[in-house]
Amino acid sequence: GQAGVTPASTVAVLHAEHLDETQVAPLLPVIGVPIGDAIGVLHERCDLDRLDAARLLDATASEMRQAGCTPVEIMAARPRDVLRQLPEDPHLWELAAGTMATAGHSTPQVAAHLAAHAPTADAFAAGLSALASDPVEGLALAAHLRAEPAHMAAASERYGLSPAATATALADAGTPARCSSRRSGIAAIT
């Protein structure tokens, strides 16, 4: 850098020397290229997909955003980063669930992220119902994840189910009734 060589020139030389992008990527931050810019450099100079470049650089969601990555690319690589900062607006959780599915996450993976990160039962239910439009599938996912009772209730309401219809949907999904004893020794369905 003191000799006047720019980071872009350094990357061009490394690329001309046929160094693999896995060797080039860790050098970029060392030579002063910000992560967001490094994603672009790897994309342009090494013909590397932005998502792969972001993964090589262990980029955060905001660094990926600075590099021009799409929401789908960001959700593919950093769903936790996005979900932890997402406000509790149920509509945003619907969009997040759909974006994660589009990004390649499986339905159970998306549901697990919703269960782990949704700040409210309504946010969870909104994301779950966007992910699985069939109440039997959605409630089965929630039950499999051992979602909190408030989350299950919100999902049932979101699907427009009565308590009896919820019980039927859970039975149709093959969800076993679980019992646990309380300190008093009284069994309660959980």
What average pLDDT does the structure give for the chain? Answer: 84
Q: How many CB atoms lie within 10 A of CB 115?
A: 19
d(C-alpha 150, C-alpha 40), whole Å: 44
Residue 117 tokens read as 């990160």
Between the two ends of the chain, the Cα-to-Cα distance in Å is: 63
DSSP character for 189?
E
Residue-wise pLDDT for 110-149, tens only, equals 999 999 999 999 999 999 999 999 999 999 999 888 888 8
Q: Which residue in the block uniquely carries the two structure tokens 């239910």?
A: 125
pLDDT band of residue 49 (cuts 50, 70, 90) is confident
Residue 159: what pLDDT? 94
Closest CA to 142 of 163, 162, 164, 127: 127
The Cα–Cα gap between 152 and 110 comes to 16
- pLDDT computed for residue 115 by the predictor: 92
Look at the pTM and tell me if it is higher than 0.85: no
Instruction: Reduce the secondary structure of 102-144 to three states and give it as a string.
Output: HCCCCHHHHHHHHHHHCCCHHHHHHHHHHHCCCHHHHHHHHHH
For residues 135 and 161, is the Cβ–Cβ distance under 8 A? yes
For the stretch 142-188, pLDDT in tens is: 988 888 889 999 999 999 999 888 888 888 877 766 544 333 333 33
Q: What is the amino acid identity at position 183?
A: R
Q: Residue 180: beta bridge partners?
A: 188
pLDDT (0 to 100) of residue 107: 94
179: left (phi over 0), alpha (psi -120 to 50) or beta: beta
Residues 6+ apart with CB under 8 A from 4: none
